[in-house]
Amino acid sequence: MSAARATSLLSTVALLLTAVTVTAAQGPAVTDLDGRPVAPLDGAGRATVLLFTAVDCPISDRYAPEVRRLAARFSSAGVRFWVVYANAGERPAAARDHAAAFGYGLPVALDPQGQLASQAQATVTPEAAVFDGAGHLAYHGRIDDRYVDFGVDRPAPTTHDLADALTAVLAGAPVSRPAVPAVGCTIVRHRP
């Protein structure tokens, strides 16, 4: 390969990497329930939590009270919470009704293309992702260990993975378990 061709190739790669870096830093654009663009990972906050849910996942539904408790506990510390509906084909009206029925009272994002789910490495609902103030993924996985497997749950959780991750991020410490598998309903991905 000639020196000129190698230099041209390196320049092209550098430009592509710059574009990818800028796009990742800005975060994917998704919409709210009214179809307006929102970017949950852009903006102020000491941390951002994305809570992936679905209108038809009973495990997610059972976590709604815990999601509300965590939001009440950590919002005053500068943590932003978003409820994200990431299934392809999730209808805004159905998501609106679901969010109201379960009393989330949090900002809602529709992510039918799976952009946020991919960035958060989320595969099921419910699943949580914590991004630190610099926008780095610090934790993704279960909210707690209440569900051991499908159809197998505890009366009360014995670990509180999401709360522990948020406590670490707010303290500026590394999360001891940055990825913990979640039990739930598979996120249905968009197929182009």
- 10 within a domain of the structure (yes/no): no
Report residue 191's pLDDT band, with 50, 70 and 90 as the boundaries: low
Q: What angle do CA 178, 165, 26 make, to 5 degrees?
A: 75
If one counts the domains in the chain, the total is 1
Measured distance CA(42)–CA(135) in Å, rounded: 8
Measured distance CA(58)–CA(62) in Å, rounded: 6
Q: CA 127, 131, 137, 138: dihedral to nearest 10 degrees?
A: -90
* 63-114 pLDDT tens trace: 999 999 999 999 999 999 999 999 998 999 999 999 999 999 999 999 999 9
Residue with more model confidence, 109 or 153: 109
Range of the domain at 115: 29-186
Report residue 164's pLDDT band, with 50, 70 and 90 as the boundaries: very high
Here the CATH number for the domain that contains residue 105 is 3.40.30.10
Is-contact 80 45, C-beta < 8 A?
Answer: yes
- 16 within a domain of the structure (yes/no): no
Give the mean pLDDT of 146-163: 91
